[in-house]
Homo-oligomer: A and B are copies of this chain.
Amino acid sequence: MNAPTVPTKPDPSYFASEQTVRWCPGCGDYAILKGIQRALAERARPREDTVFVSGIGCSSRLPYYLATYGFHTIHGRAPAVATGMKIANPDLDIWVVTGDGDGLSIGGNHMLHALRRDIDLNILLFNNEIYGLTKGQLSPTSRLGTRSPTSPGGSSERPVSAVRFALGAGGRFVARALDVQQDRLPEILVRAANHPGASFVELLQNCSVYNDGAFSFLTDREAGPRQRLHVRHGEPLRYGADGEFGLRLDARTMKLEAVEVGPGGCSEEEILVHDEHNPALAGLLATIGPPDFPLPLGVIYCDPAAPASRPVGKAAQPAIRTTDEELTAMLASEGTYQLT
Contact = CB atoms under 8 A, between A and B. Distances in A.
Interface in A138-164: 140, 144, 156-161, 164
A156 B311 contact: yes
27 contacts: A104-B112, A107-B109, A108-B108, A108-B109, A108-B112, A108-B113, A112-B160, A116-B158, A117-B158, A156-B310, A157-B310, A157-B311, A158-B308, A160-B169, A160-B170, A161-B170, A164-B170, A167-B168, A168-B168, A254-B275, A254-B278, A254-B284, A279-B287, A280-B283, A283-B283, A283-B286, A283-B287
Interface of A: 104-109, 112-113, 116-118, 140, 144, 156-161, 164-170, 249, 251-256, 272-273, 275, 278-281, 283-284, 286-287, 308-311
A330 to B, nearest CB: 15
A264 B86 CA distance: 53
Nearest to A309: B156
A106 B108 contact: no
A157 B254 contact: no
Contact of A280 (B104, B144, B255): B255
B254 A112 contact: no
Contact of A165 (B105, B159, B169, B310): B169
A117 B254 contact: no
Contacts of A160: 112, 116, 169-170
A312 to B, nearest CB: 8
Contacts of A251: 249, 251
Contact of A278 (B105, B109, B157, B255): B255
| Most B C-beta atoms less than 10 A away, residue of A117, A161, A170 | A170
Contact of A164 (B161, B168, B310): B168
A40 B281 CA distance: 39
Contacts of A252: 273
B287 A116 contact: no
A170 B140 CA distance: 12
A337 B306 CA distance: 72
A255 B252 CA distance: 13
A287 B280 CA distance: 8
Contacts of A279: 287
A107 B112 CA distance: 11
B157 A116 contact: yes
